[in-house]
Structure 1
Amino acid sequence: MKGGGGGGGGGAVLVTTGKRRWRSLVIGVLFLVILSMLVPLAFLLGLHNGFHSPNPNPNGYVPVHKTSIVNYRSTHINDLVKKLAPNISKDVRSNFPDGAKTETSDMSATDTSHHSKVTPVSPPAVPQSLPNTSNSKIAGTVADSGRGGVDENENCELKFGSYCLWRREHREEMKDTMVKKLKDQLFVARAYYPSIAKLPSQDKLTRALRQNIQEVERVLSESATDVDLPPGIEKKIQRMEAAITKAKSVPVDCSNVDKKFRQILDMTNDEANFHMKQSAFLYQLAVQTMPKSLHCLSMRLTVEYFKSPSVVMELSQADRFSDPSLHHYVIFSTNVLASSVLINSTVLCARENKNQVFHVLTDGQNYFAMKLWFFRNTFKEATVQVLNIEQLNLESHDKAILIHMFLPVEYRVSLLSVDGPSIHSKMQYISVFSHLHYLLPEIFQSLTKVVVLDDDVVVQKDLSALWDINMGGKVNGAVQSCSVSLGQLKSYLGENSYDKNSCAWMSGLNIVDLARWRELDLTKTYQRLVREVSMGEESKEAVALRGSLLTFQDLVYALDGVWALSGLGHDYGLNIEAIKKAAVLHYNGNMKPWLELGIPRYKKFWKKFLNQEDQLLSECNVHP
């Protein structure tokens, strides 16, 4: 029994231990089941609370998109920006419209647009100070792109050579932005049109492009500035932009478009070169051709001269013309108006004009007009003599050359200057005597000293002090242009012996000692130099430059620079104070004051000596 009882007690212990193990397993399994259910639920609840999905799934499943992740990141980024960004004062905030206050929302929308094309990007707010017109919207966009997107409050690095500083200093507002926009659109549309026209499925787009191209071409043929554009041009720009956008979305062969772009670019370059050459030709034509109004004045004076043959055109004052004790001024001119302004300014600025005698040398075509003009217009007590160079007793000289070369000769010289590592090209105008100037001792045989004036000068002060200058044996008193040395004109002067460091002298205002001239026989020297030069392809003007500079070698008396200021016919940067102080203003260059091409800010110094009371000036519409 002991044995049986002992056996039964052992079996009870084993049963109890087995039950405990089973319970532990059940509890463990239940815990795992509950945990497996809680973890997904907690994860889903966390997603719902963190991303705030606006469209939850009706079944309880919330989809996770990249857009949601980006929004989550942008929200945290915006929170950090708000915490770390500097505070903006109320005054600054008040300058912005309400739309600008939602900057963070615009930033998040912009960031989202990079990942999802569904969310539209709102355009930036337009400041309220801009005019609320359709023109300003288009022009503002193009103008901003033309300035390179530079912010006005951009912080530039203050150091030498900073591109940011250079861009700020040289920024220019784009003009005629709508015309430029139309030209750009026309350029692009022409490039895409051939490729689109080859696609049978794009007939509608082909017609739209062709129609827009024709409309823009018609508009540009009639309008050169924004002011000339017809009303409703904004709609044409939008239609063209829409057609171009659709053309860009059509799959075409890029090589064809590229080829067409290159063809149009080559055609544009050729057209630009043609217009540049045409512009240069027309500019030279405008410079060298007498304006219609001045031609009318000359012709009317000539007709009036022959209609009044009984009028005594010139009083008998031969004694004054040959009196060496008087102040004699010599003018070579074919321009009635220019010579009249020159004489009028010289007389009005002189303290005494009784001793002033003016000798105007002109050609046969303008001789009678000159005579009648100076008969109709008196200049106080000064005397004016008009001479026809074709009637002068100059049998020993070639009259054909003299008639062609009797006006002062101007040269535009291109010089290279080295400034450190860079080389600059500068233009200088040099004016010298013509062939006829070297016959002055022969033409005025009884005179010993004369002042030679070009007809493109105007006098502002009394010139009587020129007659008291002792030139110390020099022949030609002139203002020198030391910006040009004879050494820089080596290509013009050849291998002749001369001082390469001496300055070039200028005509315009020259006091000439005729007595000393005759002693040295400079006329024969000039003629010898001209004969020595091999004419070849060289022009008579180039020969005159070489002969003039070499004839007066070491015989030029340098006048003080205050006597004459040159450059008013080509230099826009002259100092106004220097202009007012100069005794003589020389309008050397192409832009003469009586031409429409003249520099406006210098014209007033010339026009104030123009006598506009003559009836012929108004009849010929002379208004320089």
Structure 2
Amino acid sequence: MIELRRRQRILILSLLSFTVFAPLILFSDRLKLLAFNGRNEFVEDLSSITYRTDTLKLNSIEKEDARGLEEPKQVVYKENDFVPTINYSSKQRNDSEESGIVGYRRFNDDKKENQQVQRKGSSSISGEKKKFNETVPQYQNMNTQSQRKKHENIGGRNEQSDQKTSQHHQTLHSWSHKASNERVMEIKDQIIRAKAYLMFAPPGSTSRLVKELKLRIKEMEQIVGEANKDSDLPRSALQKMKHMEASLSKANRAYPHCHLMASKLRAMNYNAEEQVRTQLAQVSYLVHLAARTTSKGLHCLSMRLTAEYFALRPEERKFPNENRIDDPELYHYAVFSDNVLACAVVVNSTVSTAKEPEKLVFHVVTNSLNFPAISMWFIFNPPGQATLHIQNIDKFKWMSKYSGFKKQNFSDPRYNSELNCLRFYLPDIFPALNKIVLFDHDMVIQQDLSDLWNVKMKEKVNGAVGTCQEGDTSFYRINTLINFSDPFIAERFDGNACTWAFGMNLFDLKQWRRLDLTGVYHKYLEMGSERPLWNAGSLPIGWLTFYNKTMVLDGRWHVHGLGYNSGIDRNKIERAAVIHYDGIRKPWLDIAMGRYKGYWTKFINYDHPILQQCNVHE
């Protein structure tokens, strides 16, 4: 019995000893492994932090020429040459100072490389020592001979050093200015590289590296924001860039295959270009669709005005001063339009800038659909002392003698409009007049035009502003819209002839009738229906019809391009007598250019009750 108890005690003591010493034995190896891994991770993180942050920049630096390495320039700079330009103790370093530090490092690198080249190649350089000293005399003080004469030439050397320092300061300043957006570009490149590395990870991956890259991308996108230059970046940008570069270094070690990275970047670039191309096509389609569509407000305006017009008695629909309509001594202006507000702006702007508004006569020609609305608008808003005459194209009896009036068939409805073709029938529309100014309906008149009527036409028919000044945004060559490969065109017209623009044209109707230019127009129209002689529109056939019969006016009379060109000088616009919203971005549309719209909207009273009812506003 005693023996049994003794064995039990031994067993219990053995078990207690095992429970005490076994964990120490088992976990000692694990602790060693853990400590070793932790030390490795620390060393790895330390190496990633000290990793150079100026490698693998995609867009922020220029690529070197792959044809060969250039020999370093034989220039040696002293450290004290750079001390005045850089203050390392400054707490508020701006972009130019950061750029100066980069330049300092690059010049120091050049200095070290040049010294190594001089030590290694002293035997080869000694043969060309004379030539080197002739081209770079300011560096002769590096030779032993100049050291012996140090005290004798100290004044001249200091002067040369000051001159060299000044030149270097200018170089650093210009380099810093040029590289003012270098850090922004580098941040964007880092984001692109990080996204490319993420593509290597399996879908749905939640690894530590993937999470870290996603976090860095988010941080960098918040930092760069809408910044365009380095001065727009916050102060923490540099530290974040270092963290991002450390993460990219880890990713580079995890995915070291450069050719795979290049393939990913090419795929990303191709996808981005395809998206941009698709978006541009959609934008172009929607803009053209908006240009051809009547807005809800303008449609409402036409309907309400039409209803009001037919509610009037016939005698209430007439305009005053009908006896002035055919008076050749007055200033006659014609507008062909189906847009109520466009006609209103042309009339209002001309009357408001005229010195003698009582001499103005406006001839508005429209179609039967819009005739009531336009008439009712001017009944509500008479043009002051000026005379107004509104005509319906469907009531023209002379049109029956021209069988080819509607032979222009183009896909764009703007060019197929009958109102667009009427400009070639002015003598028939106004048989009692000898002169007339034709306005497009997308015009704004800013100055008095009485001097325009005093222009000597010199037996020309058409007075227009030229578009033949090369380098101007409105520049057109005649062969850009006319087919000079056709023998008929090539034999009769000069491909370098000066072109001109429709929009504001002064026509001598008496000379027009004498030359029968309407018949000339019909001849070209008939030929153009048989073979392609010009592009769509009335402008190229107008160049043919009025070839050698156009008087080029001063460019200040007519500035155009406000419907497509956003870069027109504002001073040029304000000096112009007439501005023209040619193009698809008309001022009455939502797609109009905001910077030009104010010149047009100031001639519309948007507080008018009928405009308020139709929600027509600026």
TM norm structure 1: 0.60
Matched residue type, 1:605: Y
**How far apart are the structure 1 equivalents of 2:392 and 2:101?**
63
Q: 5+ residue gaps in structure 2?
A: 1-77, 108-163, 228-235, 470-474
> What SS does the aligned partner of 2:605 have?
coil
- Matching of residue 609 in structure 1 with residue 603 in structure 2: yes
Change (3 A) 1:473 1:491: closer
Deviation at 1:346, TM superposition (A): 1.0
Deviation at 1:559, TM superposition (A): 2.7
- Count residues with an aligned counterpart: 459
8 Å Cα contact 2:81-2:165 kept in structure 1: no
**How far apart are the structure 1 equivalents of 2:179 and 2:194?**
30
Counterpart of 1:560 (choices 554, 563, 567) is: 554
- Matching of residue 359 in structure 1 with residue 345 in structure 2: no
- Matching of residue 208 in structure 1 with residue 203 in structure 2: no
TM norm structure 2: 0.60
The equivalent of 1:108 in structure 2 is none
Change (3 A) 1:382 1:407: farther
How many percent identity over aligned positions?
32
The equivalent of 1:436 in structure 2 is 422
The equivalent of 1:249 in structure 2 is 253
8 Å Cα contact 2:309-2:373 kept in structure 1: yes
> What SS does the aligned partner of 2:391 have?
strand
The equivalent of 1:71 in structure 2 is none
8 Å Cα contact 2:408-2:525 kept in structure 1: no
8 Å Cα contact 1:485-1:500 kept in structure 2: no
> What SS does the aligned partner of 1:507 have?
coil
> What SS does the aligned partner of 1:481 have?
coil
Counterpart of 1:197 (choices 191, 199, 202) is: 202
Matched residue type, 1:511: L
- Matching of residue 334 in structure 1 with residue 324 in structure 2: no
**How far apart are the structure 2 equivalents of 1:165 and 1:237?**
24
8 Å Cα contact 1:333-1:407 kept in structure 2: no
Matched residue type, 1:560: D
Change (3 A) 1:302 1:505: same
The equivalent of 1:445 in structure 2 is 431
**How far apart are the structure 2 equivalents of 1:148 and 1:358?**
70
8 Å Cα contact 1:334-1:366 kept in structure 2: yes
**How far apart are the structure 2 equivalents of 1:386 and 1:568?**
27
1:56-67 alignment, distance < 5 Å? none
The equivalent of 1:376 in structure 2 is 380
Deviation at 1:603, TM superposition (A): 3.8
Change (3 A) 1:467 1:203: closer
Deviation at 1:464, TM superposition (A): 2.5
Counterpart of 1:265 (choices 261, 269, 274) is: 269
Deviations 1:233-280 (CA, angstroms, capped at 9, x unpaired): 999999988875544332565544443333223222222222233333
- Matching of residue 588 in structure 1 with residue 593 in structure 2: no
Change (3 A) 1:390 1:225: farther
Matched residue type, 1:323: D
**How far apart are the structure 2 equivalents of 1:165 and 1:236?**
26
**How far apart are the structure 2 equivalents of 1:480 and 1:503?**
7
8 Å Cα contact 1:329-1:453 kept in structure 2: yes
Matched residue type, 2:451: A
**How far apart are the structure 1 equivalents of 2:240 and 2:300?**
47
Counterpart of 1:526 (choices 517, 521, 525) is: 521
Matched residue type, 2:508: D
**How far apart are the structure 2 equivalents of 1:545 and 1:537?**
15
- Matching of residue 315 in structure 1 with residue 319 in structure 2: yes
8 Å Cα contact 2:361-2:386 kept in structure 1: yes
8 Å Cα contact 1:208-1:243 kept in structure 2: no
Change (3 A) 1:191 1:594: same
**How far apart are the structure 1 equivalents of 2:577 and 2:200?**
69
Matched residue type, 1:547: I
User: Comparing both structures, which one devotes a greater share of its residues to helix?
Assistant: 2
**How far apart are the structure 2 equivalents of 1:439 and 1:264?**
57
Deviation at 1:290, TM superposition (A): 4.3
Matched residue type, 1:550: L
Change (3 A) 1:498 1:156: farther
Matched residue type, 2:350: T
The equivalent of 1:549 in structure 2 is 543
Change (3 A) 1:376 1:259: same
Matched residue type, 2:603: F
Higher Cα Rg: structure 1 or 2?
A: 1
> What SS does the aligned partner of 1:606 have?
helix
The equivalent of 1:344 in structure 2 is 348
8 Å Cα contact 1:453-1:510 kept in structure 2: yes
RCO greater where, 1 or 2, for CA within 8 Å and sep 6 or more? Answer: 2
8 Å Cα contact 2:573-2:579 kept in structure 1: yes
1:395-406 alignment, distance < 5 Å? 395=400, 396-397=402-403, 400=406
**How far apart are the structure 1 equivalents of 2:427 and 2:171?**
62
1:125-164 alignment, distance < 5 Å? 126-127=91-92
Deviations 1:353-407 (CA, angstroms, capped at 9, x unpaired): 2232111122344333212211111111112222232343222345655798999
The equivalent of 1:277 in structure 2 is 281
Deviation at 1:474, TM superposition (A): 1.9
Matched residue type, 1:479: V
Deviation at 1:446, TM superposition (A): 2.2
> What SS does the aligned partner of 1:361 have?
strand
Which of 302-311 and 587-596 deviates more?
302-311
**How far apart are the structure 2 equivalents of 1:148 and 1:308?**
82
Change (3 A) 1:576 1:171: farther
Which of 530-539 and 260-269 deviates more?
530-539
8 Å Cα contact 1:345-1:460 kept in structure 2: yes
- Matching of residue 386 in structure 1 with residue 361 in structure 2: no
Matched residue type, 1:204: S
8 Å Cα contact 1:591-1:598 kept in structure 2: yes
- Matching of residue 504 in structure 1 with residue 499 in structure 2: yes
8 Å Cα contact 2:440-2:503 kept in structure 1: yes
**How far apart are the structure 2 equivalents of 1:157 and 1:596?**
55
**How far apart are the structure 1 equivalents of 2:225 and 2:83?**
45
Matched residue type, 2:196: A
Deviations 1:494-528 (CA, angstroms, capped at 9, x unpaired): 32413445421222221212222122211111100
The equivalent of 2:612 in structure 1 is 618
Matched residue type, 1:357: V
Change (3 A) 1:208 1:84: closer
Matched residue type, 1:456: D
Change (3 A) 1:491 1:156: farther
**How far apart are the structure 1 equivalents of 2:243 and 2:299?**
52
Which of 204-213 and 262-271 deviates more?
204-213
> What SS does the aligned partner of 1:452 have?
strand
Deviation at 1:455, TM superposition (A): 1.7
Q: 5+ residue gaps in structure 1?
A: 1-82, 102-124, 131-139, 227-232, 411-432
Matched residue type, 2:435: K
**How far apart are the structure 1 equivalents of 2:201 and 2:411?**
63
Matched residue type, 2:337: S
- Supply the RMSD in Å over aligned alpha carbons: 5.0
The equivalent of 2:447 in structure 1 is 461
Deviation at 1:478, TM superposition (A): 1.9
Matched residue type, 1:275: Q
Change (3 A) 1:256 1:301: same
**How far apart are the structure 2 equivalents of 1:303 and 1:446?**
33
